Structure 1
Amino acid sequence: MSADYVKRYALFVLLILPVHIAFALTVDVTTDKTTYNYGDYLTVIITVSEVSDSVAVMHIVGPDGVKSSAIPIPIKDMNTSITTPNAFDPQLYKEGRYQIQITYAGADASTEFEIVDAGNAFLPFGSNLIISQWTDGIISDYSLLKFLSDKGAISINPEESMKIPQWYKNNAGWWLERKITDVEFLNALQYLIDQKIV
């Protein structure tokens, strides 16, 4: 057999045989910031090379090496962004470096972020539930003020007779929709308290 014949035969075989080239699925994870303050919300961005399984599994590893329970993240698109429903609170998160670990369809990725205490005012853990209940009229002005005072978010010794202006529920709605920050919400409420409007 001539060398030319072997080359043509090999080319023919390559053309008629189905060729399956397997590309490994890849996953990448990032956060919207590398440094967070208390009161900030964590946003995680997961990028996959193809949508395969329906769920990624995320763990957060703290500065002490303790790993969170598995957090399932539904993956429906090649780019998935999720934001935590609660902000970082010093009662739940220590200052320091954290790692996010993602596993998706056998592929792994990780990234790091840091939490620092910049001294900013922030709403305590559970505020989203309490403020939502307050805006819906489920709990009283006194209950909201007591919760915020007990957690050290505002300076007041609340009394049952205290009333927050009805229009301030607009600010609460904006905060729940993340249109204003914890600092803006708390500073405005503290101003009303200091001016004896509450």
Structure 2
Amino acid sequence: MNSRNAVLPIILILGLIIIPPVFAEPSVSIIMEKTTYSYCEKLFYTIKVSEITGDPAIIHIRDESGKGSSAIPIPISDFENPIPSLIAFQEEIFPLGKYFIDVQYSGSETTAEFTLIDSNKICIPEVIKPILANWLSGNISDGFLMDAIQKYISTDIIVVPFEINESNVYDIEIPEWVKNVGYWWIEGDITDDDFSQAFNYLLERKIISSSSLFNNEI
């Protein structure tokens, strides 16, 4: 048997060996809506994957110091998965600076970054919305709404010219038509700046007032 004929059986034998297929890990990427945010704005980004494996994406958001959120599992049901934040950036929670979004998905990892800046825009804390909604529904009194505004909103935004305490909290009076301003703000028809200007005007004109304070002045 010549060398050419000897090589042929070896080739045939090698051809019978099953080489296991090589599976690449699914790729994952982050598509940012924008890379600069300010207070009152909500973070929005999209997680894009090359394959739907049934695994969730695990998200961490951290700041420049490394301080970050706990793991956030996000179900991945499409190749592009929008991730809207439920709450806006608030000064009391988020310091200014650079932030990073880390995503792990089926063995792959990726990171995107954005910067939080101070735009000097009027920003009312999100905690006011459920309180205002309860006021609009008649579940809390006028005084409790104004007490929350005084506690949670900076005096740079809304100035309540009288102290609210246990003795006068039920004496605060807000005209019924002012609820329209609350509805407009919750629905997004007016801005935080519009809302604060409206309440400051009502307070300055004593349209929102404490009846006990008024009686004392008389």
User: Deviation of residue 28 (structure 1)?
Assistant: 0.9
RMSD: 2.9
* Bigger Rg, structure 1 or 2: 2
Which of residues 154, 163, 166 in structure 1 aligns to 2:174?
163
Distance in 1 (CA, whole Å) between partners of 2:194 and 2:53 is 42
Q: Secondary structure at the match of 2:172?
A: coil
Compared CA separation, residues 30 and 183, structure 1 to 2 (3 A): farther
Which of residues 167, 173, 190 in structure 1 aligns to 2:186?
173
Gaps of 5+ in 2: 165-170, 209-218
User: Deviation of residue 86 (structure 1)?
Assistant: 1.7
Residue equivalent to 2:137: 136
Residue equivalent to 2:82: 81
User: Deviation of residue 56 (structure 1)?
Assistant: 1.1
Compared CA separation, residues 77 and 188, structure 1 to 2 (3 A): farther
Distance in 2 (CA, whole Å) between partners of 1:21 and 1:181 is 55
After superposition, where does 1:2-81 map in structure 2 within 5 Å?
20=21, 22-81=23-82
User: Deviation of residue 83 (structure 1)?
Assistant: 2.0
Compared CA separation, residues 113 and 157, structure 1 to 2 (3 A): same
Distance in 2 (CA, whole Å) between partners of 1:91 and 1:173 is 21
Distance in 1 (CA, whole Å) between partners of 2:19 and 2:206 is 80
Residue equivalent to 2:200: 190
Q: How many residues align?
A: 186
Amino acid corresponding to residue 174 of structure 2 in structure 1: K
- Per-residue Cα deviation, 1:8-30 (whole angstroms, up to 9, x for no partner): x99xx7xxx99956343111113
Distance in 2 (CA, whole Å) between partners of 1:45 and 1:191 is 41
After superposition, where does 1:112-127 map in structure 2 within 5 Å?
112-127=113-128
Compared CA separation, residues 95 and 51, structure 1 to 2 (3 A): same
Contact 1:149 / 1:157 at 8 angstroms: preserved in 2? no
- Per-residue Cα deviation, 1:117-139 (whole angstroms, up to 9, x for no partner): 12111111423332332333222
State which drifts further: 131-140 or 82-91: 131-140
Gaps of 5+ in 1: none
State which drifts further: 150-159 or 75-84: 150-159
Higher relative contact order (Cα pairs below 8 Å, separated by 6+ residues): 1
TM-score with structure 2 setting the length: 0.71
User: Deviation of residue 93 (structure 1)?
Assistant: 0.9
Distance in 1 (CA, whole Å) between partners of 2:174 and 2:108 is 54
